[in-house]
Structure 1
């Protein structure tokens, strides 16, 4: 009779007891969808205090590097950047609590074919689920009777605050997330789920300290992949540093007739885009070899009144099937910066000639349309930027490493 080894039993409070010394190392984990990304969420207390040990753990969890086929077949990753992510969530310090912060988190972008473990930026999509995870895990607590709660987070990657507001339910005097209500749908995800409001207060200068790191709405960047060539680009840092170039401008480098889109999977095009991104990183004072930051996007004017601007975004050198949410939020801000590449593209259509700032920017990406809400105060000071996301619990248990 064949005997199959069983995993360790799940105890109350998610304490795991080894049944055999032969069982691999494991960590309590939750697998979540946030927006158009999926990732592993870990309680910081379950990781080694020595953070130098995290790198090898994260690589083994995700199944990286996968030099054979890039599918991360030996781990939890899914072979694309939006599925190779980890969030480490912990309780707020006493000083942070005094400032109204409920929990803090670190976002980790894990390489697929290489051993990259990048802490340079943040993920807006997964950020939308950090508050729900923190509340579910008891990392923070809330007493609510209104049916919704706001969790105020501190992101260690960008040293910035993020607020998430979502429905809750009260059981036995404790407040828990309620994420299965048919309240909202987002492009790129089938079905409906509870409405999660993701808001970034004071998002300017997340990494560089300035909304416009060079002080200019547009800079001319040298393209090393095309000797002597230059291209106008907007370098903007809001929620995450990002680079925006125009589809018309980059089309000039190719011997093809004007067309609505380029083959962004083409090796030559990808090489030029990465060359632009690297040059922009240098100008922004960022590490040019880190593909995670800054992100880069190609924008074009709307072809209908259904949206304000079209965007094709790249993440870790690959065309994103939707739009990384921090880049989308940054685009919403950039569309309101007079003279920037996105600003010009939004106003290129006959229906959008006004120079006034817009509170809502509708952007079309390969999977649909997303709305970004931007608020400016007196003197044109950027107060906040936000959007609506949905999320889902996918699995809870242990992850082996």
Structure 2
């Protein structure tokens, strides 16, 4: 009998309930196909959420399942039509979630999760970093699945503390609740890149510094000089900032791309000149990875982002800094949230490229630099990110507002 015949769907009869249990009656080690799954939007990303217990205990078995779920590799077309992926890195993501261990529960942690970045055109499976956008709905998934205690009947909001295994960091998410379930459809907040309004989800990364390298400034400096070959006859010295907060990121300035087709590149041109900019950015990212002690062949980490000052109109509208970020080698249509948070932290660290730009922008508006919230302009709009520092200069937290939506619950074939 096929595994699909051994599945049962049991739905609690309470109309408002979204807790759907889809589990195999058989516990045979021939792994189940399909697998119980939830499809969620978190921020500007979408992903498949799985229970760890529904996956093989041997992690070496996971990649073939994840690739099948996403429809990867799709080398020829890059559309992932055979799976749940959407042809871009922000839509090719998986979160594997489990209840917290007794030791974690003693720290107030409700669930732990592992983020998986799945390649689109290739078979890469990357566990090296976290996804800030999908992190925003980990608490929602945990509540829906009964992995954490229900809020009191009178509660209007709930905070769920989660532990990310990729970065060994704690993330708190706070969201509205009704009838003991997350209420995601309140018209409270809008975020760039997502149409309409939805409930406010406040996401706070606790002590986000050193997510991969153990240091906020992995090189020990706010700005480093990096020599990069621009052409066979030209080598250029660039100013870069290596910052590791929520995810390690290499920050560069477009001023160092003079005489190159950077603006053409940001507009999505496929010209040879724009393609060369992409190649140079990837080379910078790889050199930055080496300087940060990371694997330069892992495309997911570190990230790379180009920082620039807002123009007069953007500055008048309150933007402090402009960010063009790449993910898996592709220019992102919206700033990845961990990059945005990292930029927000960097903007409050004296001497970094982000700090210089924000300081100059605010001085031009006649505003004090200060600490706290930073307004980032990116290709899809703006986002406000915040950072809180302790007296000794360490980063206590980084926070941002996100929204989310339930898209599907059932089972996914791989």
For normalisation by structure 1, the TM-score amounts to: 0.91
Question: Which whole-Å CA distance do the structure 1 matches of 2:336 and 2:120 have between them?
Answer: 17
User: 1:115, CA displacement in angstroms?
Assistant: 0.6
2:376 corresponds to which of 348, 355, 363: 363
1:150 match: 159
Q: How does 1:1-400 map to 2 (within 5 A)?
A: 10-12=9-11, 13-16=21-24, 25-144=33-152, 145-170=154-179, 175-224=180-229, 226=231, 228-250=235-257, 252-254=258-260, 262-263=266-267, 265=269, 266-303=274-311, 304-306=315-317, 307-349=319-361, 350-351=363-364, 356-400=369-413
Alignment gaps of 5+ in structure 1: none
Pairwise CA RMSD = 2.2
2:17 match: none
SS in 2 for 1:42: strand
Contact kept in structure 1, 2:7 and 2:23, CA below 8 Å: no
User: 1:355, CA displacement in angstroms?
Assistant: 7.0
Question: Which whole-Å CA distance do the structure 1 matches of 2:53 and 2:129 have between them?
Answer: 22
Residues 17 and 99 of structure 1, relative CA distance in 2, 3 Å threshold: closer
Question: Which whole-Å CA distance do the structure 1 matches of 2:119 and 2:148 have between them?
Answer: 30
User: 1:125, CA displacement in angstroms?
Assistant: 0.2
SS in 2 for 1:158: coil
User: 1:263, CA displacement in angstroms?
Assistant: 4.6
Residue correspondences, number: 386
Decide which moves more: 366-375 or 226-235.
226-235
User: 1:223, CA displacement in angstroms?
Assistant: 1.6
For normalisation by structure 2, the TM-score amounts to: 0.89
SS in 1 for 2:140: helix
Residues 355 and 232 of structure 1, relative CA distance in 2, 3 Å threshold: farther
Contact kept in structure 1, 2:48 and 2:94, CA below 8 Å: yes
Question: Which whole-Å CA distance do the structure 2 matches of 1:295 and 1:382 have between them?
Answer: 20
Residues 310 and 281 of structure 1, relative CA distance in 2, 3 Å threshold: same
User: 1:366, CA displacement in angstroms?
Assistant: 0.4
Decide which moves more: 264-273 or 349-358.
349-358
Residues 360 and 332 of structure 1, relative CA distance in 2, 3 Å threshold: same
Where has structure 1 moved over 4 Å in runs of 4 or more? 5-9, 224-227, 258-265, 352-356
User: 1:225, CA displacement in angstroms?
Assistant: 5.1
Question: Which whole-Å CA distance do the structure 2 matches of 1:204 and 1:400 have between them?
Answer: 38
User: 1:347, CA displacement in angstroms?
Assistant: 2.3
Contact kept in structure 2, 1:302 and 1:346, CA below 8 Å: no
Question: Which whole-Å CA distance do the structure 1 matches of 2:148 and 2:69 have between them?
Answer: 26
Contact kept in structure 1, 2:24 and 2:32, CA below 8 Å: no
Q: Deviations over 1:252-299 (max 9, x none)?
A: 252x6x969855652101000000000000000000001100000111
Question: Which whole-Å CA distance do the structure 1 matches of 2:337 and 2:190 have between them?
Answer: 15
Contact kept in structure 1, 2:8 and 2:22, CA below 8 Å: no
Contact kept in structure 2, 1:313 and 1:323, CA below 8 Å: yes
Residues 43 and 24 of structure 1, relative CA distance in 2, 3 Å threshold: closer
Contact kept in structure 2, 1:225 and 1:271, CA below 8 Å: no
Question: Which whole-Å CA distance do the structure 2 matches of 1:8 and 1:136 have between them?
Answer: 20
Question: Which whole-Å CA distance do the structure 2 matches of 1:352 and 1:93 have between them?
Answer: 50
Alignment gaps of 5+ in structure 2: 12-20
Contact kept in structure 2, 1:263 and 1:269, CA below 8 Å: no
Q: Deviations over 1:77-107 (max 9, x none)?
A: 0000000000000010011011111100000
Question: Which whole-Å CA distance do the structure 1 matches of 2:41 and 2:228 have between them?
Answer: 37
Question: Which whole-Å CA distance do the structure 1 matches of 2:216 and 2:389 have between them?
Answer: 13
Decide which moves more: 352-361 or 199-208.
352-361
Residues 7 and 51 of structure 1, relative CA distance in 2, 3 Å threshold: closer
